[in-house]
Structure 1
Amino acid sequence: MNKNNLLTNIKINSNLFWSLTVIFLLTIIGGLYFSFTTENLLKVTVAEYKEEQRPANLEITLIKDSSCQECNNLDGVLHSIKQESIKITQEKILEYTEEEAKNLLTKYSIKTLPALLITGEINKSADLTKIWSSLGQSDDNTFILRYNFYPVKDLETNKIQGLTDIFLLSDLSCQECYDVKQHLAILSGFGLSLNQVTNTDTSSKLGQELIKKYQIKKVPTIVLTGNLNVFDSLKKTWGQVGTIETDGAYVFRDGLDKMKIIYKDLTSNKIITFASSTNK
């Protein structure tokens, strides 16, 4: 091999060596960069996951009137909220006559008691946001309960709203008739909190008074009295099963036939049963 060829080969080998060296170094650098980037991404992802799973820090303020024994204490509402992924960092109860309570009632135009306000990370999760939108409103990063869980005290009239009494009217001679107490569970679904439950029979003085006053023709039945206009869903539904009297009482009537349950017709003195489609 002549001198020129030797020099040429040396030059080629030298270039190849340096090219391979550069490629090797770039590969190492690329690997290190990828490893570093992946590690950082994993750290970010883990951090985001941990943050997402972390309970929301919330502060609860309940404003009430201790003298209102009939008022809803909102224990059920608070229990439901506490079942969510939250951490209560502070929980305080204020009497509505306290200065702090007065300021909050005025600031958020709260008209009824008890009042519930929740501050903190109220929008940390979609589940929490859904709860707030279904029960009230979020204002100034504060949730205010707007849906009334009756009975409540109206701060403008100083009267209690949502107190309901119920008369359960039965006929003891009708052993086959449906159990009128079934209505209690149904009514609770409309948010009614019953103040007084009175059981009476058609043969009693009270029973006769109810029959005469409301022209009741079918028993068992119920008569609801009280401040019932506040229960919008009940008012809208009641026309399908009964009547709303001039004195505001709700009397269960047509629902007996629609529900196809056994009852007694007071006019014919017969027991109506839909099971056999015959009158007894």
Structure 2
Amino acid sequence: MLKRMNLLQQRKKRDDMALYTILAVLLGTGALIGLTTVSGLSLADREAKETARPANMVVTTIASPSCTDCFPLDSVLASLASQPVNLEEHRTVSFPSDEATGLISTYNIQRLPAIILTGETDKENVRSFLSSIADVRNGAMVWTPPQPVYMDAATGEEIGRVSITVIRDASCSECTDPSNTIAQLERMGVRQESLTMLDWKTSEAQQLIGTYALTAVPALILSSEAGLYPPVVQAWTGFGTTTEDGTFVASMRIPPYTELPGGRIRGNVHLTAITDAACSSCYDVGAHRKILEQNFGVRIADETTADINSASGKQLASQYGITAVPMILLTGDTKAYPNLVTAWKQIGSIEEDGTLVFRDVGVMGTYYDLRKGTVINPSSDSAPAGS
């Protein structure tokens, strides 16, 4: 009996030891899992904080004080300040000091002014921005002017001012004003070296007309420095040509203009409106002029109105087979507007004498049908004449 009790006690002790071992393993595993989880969260937090932390940088600006209209640095520095950047130091050195010359050599800088960025320039939260405005050079990010005016770092010469020559017809007051195009060039950042205005009949203008085979004036001639301005190069593709020596040339065939060599003024159009005074609900024929001027750039040199019941109105109705009013006729130099001529084929007719006759009056609104003797409202039923 005693022996049996000893065996039972020994077995219980072994079972208890096994249970303790299992509990210890489970508790240890749980602690390890918990520790790993806490450690993982801490690592993620640290990585997030590091990613969000502003990049520490030192900015060195190489200024060119003598170049008063060189590409401005303010906008570039303002863009940099808007990024997650901690500027530990901002230094400015002036060209042509020894320090500036040394930096130019170290970072192979050709254009001034320049901005040199050192420090955490490859940090993830600024990498994309910096790569969009600067180049990697000798371990730093270096910004230089993308277009003139800038200073040649090797010679100190100021580069990029454009000489502009305008040839025009001084006697044509209605011709296209080239000053609008010059203003557009200025908005593209173009800086002028000089602006020369010539009448096309002068000997100097005639020489340029022959040299560049100009076919119309106003004409615009830009010196080769215009090629240093990417926006100008892009815009000029559909506007003018570039010669072998890099000169930018454009005959501005935007009506009205003077055609060369004869000197004929192109683009003056005459508008004749035919109305019915008795039709108070008919559409406003004046809407045609707005469409012609705003959508097609047509210059209406003069405008006349004829009532359909007048002698001139009846004569025009008979001559051009007019069946509805109000409507318009266009005469004069309509061929100077090829887009208008193309569009007109869908809304009217082009007669043998060149007159453009508007016929699709329903697209304009309420009109008077001469054949039916009724006022037609395309959006509702017809009404009796005189309403």
Q: Trace 1:95-244 onto structure 2 (pairs within 5 A).
A: 95-139=199-243, 140-188=245-293, 189-244=295-350
Gaps of 5+ in 2: 1-102, 109-114, 118-133, 136-140, 150-159
What amino acid does structure 2 have at the position aligned with 1:210?
L
Q: TM-score, structure 2 length as denominator?
A: 0.57
Gaps of 5+ in 1: 1-35
Distance 1:264-1:48 versus aligned 2 partners, 3 A rule = farther
1:212 is displaced (CA, Å) by 2.0
1:61 is displaced (CA, Å) by 1.1
Distance 1:203-1:66 versus aligned 2 partners, 3 A rule = same
CA RMSD of aligned residues (A): 2.6
1:65 is displaced (CA, Å) by 2.2
Range that drifts further, 190-199 or 152-161: 152-161
Instruction: Give the structure 1 partner of residue 374 of structure 2.
Output: 270
Distance 1:61-1:245 versus aligned 2 partners, 3 A rule = same
Distance across 1 between alignment mates of 2:222 and 2:368: 52
Distance across 2 between alignment mates of 1:200 and 1:79: 41
Instruction: Give the structure 1 partner of residue 44 of structure 2.
Output: none
Distance 1:72-1:205 versus aligned 2 partners, 3 A rule = farther
Contact 2:148 2:228 in 1 (8 A): no
Q: Which has the larger radius of gyration?
A: 2
Instruction: Give the structure 2 partner of residue 43 of structure 1.
Output: 116
Q: Deviations over 1:50-79 (max 9, x none)?
A: 512645632221112222334323343333
Distance 1:105-1:266 versus aligned 2 partners, 3 A rule = same
Picking from 161, 164, 172, the partner of 1:57 is 161
Q: Deviations over 1:200-244 (max 9, x none)?
A: 322333322322221111111111001212221111111100000
Distance across 2 between alignment mates of 1:260 and 1:54: 50
Contact 1:260 1:274 in 2 (8 A): no
Distance 1:95-1:184 versus aligned 2 partners, 3 A rule = same
Distance across 2 between alignment mates of 1:227 and 1:75: 24
Contact 2:148 2:229 in 1 (8 A): no
Aligned-partner SS, 1:51 = coil
Aligned-partner SS, 1:216 = coil
Distance across 2 between alignment mates of 1:127 and 1:215: 51
Relative contact order (alpha carbons < 8 A, sep ≥ 6): 1 or 2 greater? 1
Picking from 64, 80, 85, the partner of 2:189 is 85
Distance across 2 between alignment mates of 1:181 and 1:267: 24
Contact 2:147 2:230 in 1 (8 A): no
Number of residue-to-residue matches in the alignment: 241
Distance 1:113-1:174 versus aligned 2 partners, 3 A rule = same
1:179 is displaced (CA, Å) by 1.2
Contact 2:273 2:285 in 1 (8 A): yes
Range that drifts further, 49-58 or 213-222: 49-58
Distance across 1 between alignment mates of 2:370 and 2:224: 60
What amino acid does structure 2 have at the position aligned with 1:155?
L
Contact 1:265 1:272 in 2 (8 A): yes
Identity across the alignment (%): 28
Contact 1:244 1:250 in 2 (8 A): yes
Instruction: Give the structure 2 partner of residue 15 of structure 1.
Output: none
Aligned-partner SS, 2:235 = helix
